[in-house]
């Protein structure tokens, strides 16, 4: 590809998703000359929103974990503070409302550890001891992870074993395995597992560490969303990044990451521009990068492909957005976050992600319950989400696509009405529906996947972290997204971006020394 570079940067960030924006801002803050390239004409990746008529719909975020308050920030809050990214937050009122009609479950679970345990006891008398135990484990894990972060990934093994033994003991197990050891009754699991769909694999496989820390952080600090949708967060990053001297270039797709002798030397855009850099923070999925973006392809190590092929790709999404012409009060929509499940058997619910019948899961959010003025007075924004494995959509032809979307959306509306007793159908003023191809269209997501790799115990946060050095296949190339070390989720992707940026700075320093 010759040496005719058009421009040169200390680092190039490929894709302005959550991890990319956080990483880019961290690098710029550290004084590096950074170029952030984004194929879409807006920043944010999944962190975005769109306007239909009088409504502005949130594209993806249900709730952001671990923000906390200005006075008492959580991990994500600290990240925003340290990067100087100023986001206006709104707070989610309750943890969740879980409705499982077939099992007569309809509970509203509050944030706050004591409040959560109390509510549990009310709904399932006698549950207090086992829930308390579960949360004590979760707390220990949360604290162990904080310790790991404070030690920058080099913990004192003795301290770990002494202070956080259960973190180590549970790390290789699934949620089911740990709850079995706790002798947790089914009636407790039914309610405790509600957040399972935020990770999206059955509890027999879902890694305990990840689930426990997520639940703990939600209960401890509640959840937040940006006041102006996740666009408000994305553009706060953009403003900060530009102010730090960073260069943003939208509408620019990176075609190739150019590699020589196992190390990044530059990138090429779809427009043919050649940009010289030795460091790439990459939001594009590893399967995509190793299956066509590395140039020349002979620079792709066999183990990188094995690494991709060994793992299972998680789910894509399907969302119905509704702008309703009546207020939440008029409609009787009392809560922010609804989990409506046909069953509590997560194996069964997960299996249904692979077929296109009537969905058995929905995670529905009424935005007005966190941001009352998110839509004009007398209106409501409701969004209903389910997950799909890509294979469910494999044989869909374009001419059946729109009909199919409407059919599934119809089921979701019907199921919501049945489960909650609220009538919404006659109030739909605006509607839009996304399906796996929608995610592929707007973000280029591999198979439309929004959740990266599935988080089995062998491929959860901890093993990814511990194997990190062995699994950096190309010098200077780091992955900063939900596909990265921190696994899925908004705050995970943000923190992954920041971590990988800090590691890039270490790489740069080391190079400086050897050069």
**Residues 369 to 398: which contact another protein by CB under 8 A?**
390, 393-394, 396, 398
198 or 290: whose CB is closer to another protein?
Answer: 290
| 453, two tokens | 């790799």
**C-alpha closest to that of 127 among 189, 59, 197:** 189
Residue 466 binds another protein (CB under 8 A)? yes
Q: Which stretch binds another protein (CB under 8 A): 50-58, 75-83, 98-106, 120-128?
A: 50-58
CB within 8 Å of 336: residues ≥ 6 apart: 92, 93, 94, 365, 366, 367, 369, 370
Q: How far is the CB of 463 from another protein (least distance, A)?
A: 5
Q: How many residues does the chain have?
A: 515
CB within 8 Å of 401: residues ≥ 6 apart: 435, 437
Residue 316 binds another protein (CB under 8 A)? yes
Contacts with another protein in 212-231 (CB under 8 A)? 228-229, 231
| 266, two tokens | 């530059």
Residue 418 binds another protein (CB under 8 A)? no
251 or 509: whose CB is closer to another protein?
Answer: 251
* Residue in 410, 417, 510, 511 binding another protein, rule: CB under 8 A: 410
* Residue in 438, 495, 498, 499 binding another protein, rule: CB under 8 A: 438
362 strand-pairing partners: 340
The answer to whether 486 and 493 have CB atoms below 8 angstroms apart is yes
Residue 280 binds another protein (CB under 8 A)? no
Residue 306 binds another protein (CB under 8 A)? yes
Find out whether the peptide bond into 296 is cis, omega within 30 degrees of 0: yes
Q: How far is the CB of 72 from another protein (least distance, A)?
A: 19
322 strand-pairing partners: 382, 431
159 or 506: whose CB is closer to another protein?
Answer: 159
Which uninterrupted H or E stretch holds 309?
helix 302-309
Residue 404 binds another protein (CB under 8 A)? no
* Residue in 18, 25, 49, 206 binding another protein, rule: CB under 8 A: 49
Residue 200 binds another protein (CB under 8 A)? no
* Residue in 102, 122, 425, 506 binding another protein, rule: CB under 8 A: 425
Residue 328 binds another protein (CB under 8 A)? no
| 444, two tokens | 């280029």
Site string for another protein, 51-70 (x = CB under 8 A): xxxx-x--------------
The answer to whether 495 and 482 have CB atoms below 8 angstroms apart is no
Q: What is the rounded CA–CA span in Å between residue 100 and residue 283? A: 36
* Residue in 68, 436, 482, 497 binding another protein, rule: CB under 8 A: 436
Residue 437 binds another protein (CB under 8 A)? yes
Q: How far is the CB of 346 from another protein (least distance, A)?
A: 19
107 or 117: whose CB is closer to another protein?
Answer: 117
Q: Are strands 7-8 and 274-276 parallel, antiparallel or unpaired?
A: parallel
If DSSP codes are grouped into helix, strand and coil, which group holds residue 457? helix
* Residue in 69, 186, 204, 251 binding another protein, rule: CB under 8 A: 251
Q: How far is the CB of 300 from another protein (least distance, A)?
A: 8
Q: What is the rounded CA–CA span in Å between residue 65 and residue 96? A: 13
Q: Which stretch binds another protein (CB under 8 A): 258-266, 269-277, 352-360, 501-509?
A: 269-277
128 or 348: whose CB is closer to another protein?
Answer: 128
Q: How far is the CB of 58 from another protein (least distance, A)?
A: 10
Contacts with another protein in 84-113 (CB under 8 A)? none
Q: Are strands 254-260 and 294-295 parallel, antiparallel or unpaired?
A: parallel
Q: How far is the CB of 103 from another protein (least distance, A)?
A: 27
Q: How far is the CB of 485 from another protein (least distance, A)?
A: 13
Contacts with another protein in 114-153 (CB under 8 A)? 132-133, 135-137, 139-140
* Residue in 65, 203, 384, 462 binding another protein, rule: CB under 8 A: 462
170 strand-pairing partners: none
**C-alpha closest to that of 387 among 318, 435, 437:** 318
- The number of beta carbons lying within 10 Å of the beta carbon of residue 244 is 19
Residue 479 binds another protein (CB under 8 A)? no
Site string for another protein, 148-187 (x = CB under 8 A): ---------------xxxx-xxxxxx---xx--x------
268 strand-pairing partners: 256, 274
Size of the site for another protein (CB under 8 A): 96
How does DSSP assign 203-235, residue by residue? TTTBBHHHHHHHHHHHHHH-EEEETTHHHHHHH
If DSSP codes are grouped into helix, strand and coil, which group holds residue 92? coil
DSSP 171: T
Which uninterrupted H or E stretch holds 477?
strand 477-479
190 or 235: whose CB is closer to another protein?
Answer: 235
- The number of beta carbons lying within 10 Å of the beta carbon of residue 461 is 21
Contacts with another protein in 16-45 (CB under 8 A)? 39, 41-42
If DSSP codes are grouped into helix, strand and coil, which group holds residue 270? coil
């Amino acid at each position: 590809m010759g040496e005719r570079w058009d421009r040169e940067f200390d680092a190039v960030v490929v894709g302005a998703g959550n991890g990319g924006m956080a990483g880019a801002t961290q690098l710029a803050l550290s004084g590096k000359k950074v170029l952030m390239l984004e194929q879409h004409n807006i920043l944010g990746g999944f962190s975005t929103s769109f306007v239909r008529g009088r409504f502005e719909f949130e594209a993806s975020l249900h709730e952001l974990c671990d923000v906390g308050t200005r006075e008492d920030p959580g991990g994500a809050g600290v990240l925003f503070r340290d990067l100087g990214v100023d986001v206006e937050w709104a707070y989610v009122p309750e943890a969740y409302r879980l409705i499982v009609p077939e099992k007569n479950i309809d509970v509203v679970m509050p944030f706050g550890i004591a409040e959560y345990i109390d509510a549990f006891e009310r709904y399932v008398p006698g549950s207090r001891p086992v829930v308390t135990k579960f949360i004590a484990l979760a707390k220990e894990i949360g604290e162990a992870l904080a310790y790991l972060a404070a030690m920058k990934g080099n913990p004192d093994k003795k301290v770990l074993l002494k202070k956080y033994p259960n973190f180590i003991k549970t790390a290789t197990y699934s949620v089911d395995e740990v709850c079995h050891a706790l002798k947790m009754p089914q009636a407790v699991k039914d309610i405790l597992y509600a957040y399972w769909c935020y990770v999206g694999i059955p509890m027999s496989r879902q890694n305990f560490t990840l689930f426990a820390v997520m639940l703990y952080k939600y209960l401890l600090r509640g959840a937040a969303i940006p006041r102006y949708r996740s666009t408000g967060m994305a553009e706060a990053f953009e403003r900060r990044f530009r102010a730090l001297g960073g260069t943003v270039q939208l509408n620019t797709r990176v075609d190739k990451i150019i590699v020589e002798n196992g190390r990044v030397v530059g990138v090429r855009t779809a427009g043919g521009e050649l940009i010289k850099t030795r460091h790439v923070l990459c939001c594009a999925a590893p399967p995509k990068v190793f299956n066509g973006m590395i140039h020349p392809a002979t620079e792709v190590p066999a183990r990188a492909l094995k690494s991709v092929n060994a793992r299972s790709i998680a789910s894509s999404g399907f969302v119905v957005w509704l702008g309703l012409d009546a207020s939440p009060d008029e409609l009787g929509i009392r809560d922010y976050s609804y989990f409506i499940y046909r069953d509590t058997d997560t194996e069964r619910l997960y299996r249904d992600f692979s077929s296109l019948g009537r969905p058995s899961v929905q995670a529905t959010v009424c935005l007005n319950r966190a941001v009352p003025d998110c839509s004009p007075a007398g209106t409501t924004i409701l969004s209903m989400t389910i997950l799909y494995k890509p294979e469910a959509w494999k044989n869909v032809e374009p001419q059946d696509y729109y009909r199919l979307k409407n059919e599934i959306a119809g089921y979701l509306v019907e199921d919501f009405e049945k489960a909650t007793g609220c009538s919404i159908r006659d109030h739909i003023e605006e509607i839009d529906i996304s399906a796996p191809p929608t995610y592929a269209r707007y973000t280029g997501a591999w198979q439309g996947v929004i959740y990266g790799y599935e988080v089995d115990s062998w491929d959860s946060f901890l093993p990814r972290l511990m194997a990190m050095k062995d699994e950096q296949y190309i010098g200077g190339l780091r992955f900063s997204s939900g596909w990265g070390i921190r696994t899925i989720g908004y705050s995970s992707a943000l923190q992954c971006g920041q971590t990988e940026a800090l590691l890039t700075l270490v790489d740069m320093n080391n190079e400086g020394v050897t050069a």
